[in-house]
Amino acid sequence: METPQNAWDDRYRAGDTPWEKGEASPGLIDFLREGSIPNKGRVLIPGCGTGHDVRAWAEAGWEAVGLDIAPSAVKLAQERTPSGTRATYRLGDFLADEPFAKFDCIFEHTCFCAIDPSQRDAYVTATRKWLKPGGWYVAVNYLIPDTDGPPFGTTREELVKRFSPYFTLIRDFVPRSYPNRTGLERLFVWQLA
């Protein structure tokens, strides 16, 4: 039976990974340079792929944990992470698993748009479950109109409707992006109430 895990793993094994840009999200790099989240604790990156964003958080002084449902992604992420880096990886399902720890921050980048839209309620529940009270949810969301994903698009309106019952929106803006996503991403900084 084809499961989401098999489907994602097949894509890594086939090298069919158009989201793989060989570097961390440009908007994340700028955000980390700002250092606007003062406590550099533990950050979870769900749907971390080959780990570029995980390594960027680790380089910025955080203890960074990448989580991915695809065993091949986790293997590649581990292989690409130099020893001594404060970046580790776990195989798991962000939506279904019980948290193995609670985090100070979650960073989202192309996981929300990767899951089936019918799972978006479960995604919001998961962000609340994996965070400590007062934890940060930093998201680079992909605001495209596509309904035949992945990637599945979303809008600022949908995100505000889904997250604002539980999180305070600190700020949101158009970040620097990979060239083929310029103007299509929005960076949100939320704090769990």
Ligand X SMILES: C[S@@+](CC[C@H](N)C(=O)[O-])C[C@H]1O[C@@H](n2cnc3c(N)ncnc32)[C@H](O)[C@@H]1O
As measured in angstroms, the least distance from the Cβ of 114 to ligand X is 4
CA angle 50, 189, 33 (to 5 degrees): 65
Asked if 46 touches ligand X (CB under 6 A), the answer is: yes
184 vs 34: CA distance, rounded Å: 22
CA–CA distance, 127 with 160 (Å, rounded to integer)? 14
CB 66 → ligand X: shortest distance, Å? 9
- Decide if residue 109 touches ligand X (CB under 6 A): yes
Q: Applying CB under 6 A, does 178 fall inside the site for ligand X? A: no
Give exposure, 86-105, as e/b (b: 16+ Cβ within 10 Å).
bbbbeebebbeeeeeeebbb
Nearer to ligand X, 37 or 70 (CB): 70
| CB-CB neighbours of 53 under 10 Å | 27
**Residue the block writes with tokens 């939320």:** 190
At its nearest, how many Å lie between ligand X and the CB of residue 83?
Answer: 22
69 makes contact with ligand X (CB under 6 A): yes
* Residue 19 within binding range of ligand X, rule CB under 6 A: yes
Q: How many residues bind ligand X (CB under 6 A)?
A: 21
Q: Does 8 bind ligand X (CB under 6 A)?
A: yes
Binding of ligand X by 108 (CB under 6 A): no
In this structure, how many other beta carbons lie within 10 angstroms of the beta carbon of residue 159?
A: 21
Which residues of the chain form contacts with ligand X (CB under 6 A)? 4, 8, 19-20, 46-49, 67-70, 73, 93-95, 109-111, 114-115
